[in-house]
Amino acid sequence: MRPLIFAANWKMQVTPAEARAFVARFLELHPPREGRALWFFPAAVSLEATTTALQGRGDTRVGAQDVHWEPKGAFTGATSIPLARGAGATGALVGHSERRHVFGETEAETGRKVTALLAASLTPMLCVGELLAEREAGQTEAVVIRQLRAGLAGVSPADLQCVVIAYEPVWAIGTGRTATPADATVVHRAIRAELARLGASTRMSVLYGGSVNGGNAASLLAEVEIDGVLVGGASLDPVGWAEITGT
């Protein structure tokens, strides 16, 4: 059976104390399950509390929501990879749509972050996805492929298998509008075709994100192209999140 990945992106929520309480409750509800891996992406200040609370659960991993590509220096407010790793992170999101469209992260910057994470042996979870106007203009695949090429520009074919891709259509994030399983499948196929052109020789994990919830997770995960979900709002409640991870 293909491994399924359930990734919780807590965005700018969940304090260290709240993370400890969340994990304690969630772990009671979600025993380790064969073929399932769980990722948690807390805010940087809650990385260590989350990691500590998850200790002993080998089916879980913790990642940063963003990292800088430089290992240290005068970058006020940013989190370096050594800082994230020191707090327990073994991966990071890169190019989340909020980083791209709210904070102005460029495609070239996503590439530097992916390369820096791989050099430090952390897992990059590269997020790609089109705006509503781009979808309506028929540019979805072109946008996603451009973002993939930029994000993976410095990655050797052999290292591609260390990267996770998350397709998150921007119009579906936090809006309650989800791509249908069939819509997501079309884009996931285009992503896989591009990954093959870039030299990926094994199946890479490609997740879907954007208004995933307890009511639609099962139908999305039933698609053979969808290897897991990246979830914002519906990952903030341990009971609701355990329903999704138990799908």
- Please give the residue ranges that form the binding site for ligand 13P (CB under 6 A): 9, 96, 168, 173-174, 209-212, 230-234
User: Is 202:43 a contact under the CB 8 Å cutoff?
Assistant: no
- Confirm whether 96 is a catalytic residue: yes
Q: Cβ closer to ligand 13P: 33 or 177? A: 177
- For the CB of residue 93, give the shortest distance to ligand 13P in the complex, in Å: 7
The C-alpha atoms of residue 27 and residue 82 are separated, in whole angstroms, by: 28
- For the CB of residue 178, give the shortest distance to ligand 13P in the complex, in Å: 8
Q: Cβ closer to ligand 13P: 109 or 168? A: 168
Q: Cβ closer to ligand 13P: 71 or 172? A: 172
Annotated catalytic residue: which of 96, 105, 130, 194? 96
Annotated catalytic residue: which of 98, 109, 134, 168? 168
- For the CB of residue 39, give the shortest distance to ligand 13P in the complex, in Å: 11
Q: How far is CA 36 from CA 7, 118, 246, 247, in A?
A: 11, 23, 9, 11
- For the CB of residue 173, give the shortest distance to ligand 13P in the complex, in Å: 4
Q: Cβ closer to ligand 13P: 23 or 244? A: 244
- For the CB of residue 7, give the shortest distance to ligand 13P in the complex, in Å: 8
Of 239, 245, 219, 223, residue with least CA distance to 231: 245
Q: Cβ closer to ligand 13P: 174 or 199? A: 174
The C-alpha atoms of residue 192 and residue 188 are separated, in whole angstroms, by: 6
- Confirm whether 168 is a catalytic residue: yes
The C-alpha atoms of residue 179 and residue 171 are separated, in whole angstroms, by: 9
Catalytic positions are 96, 168
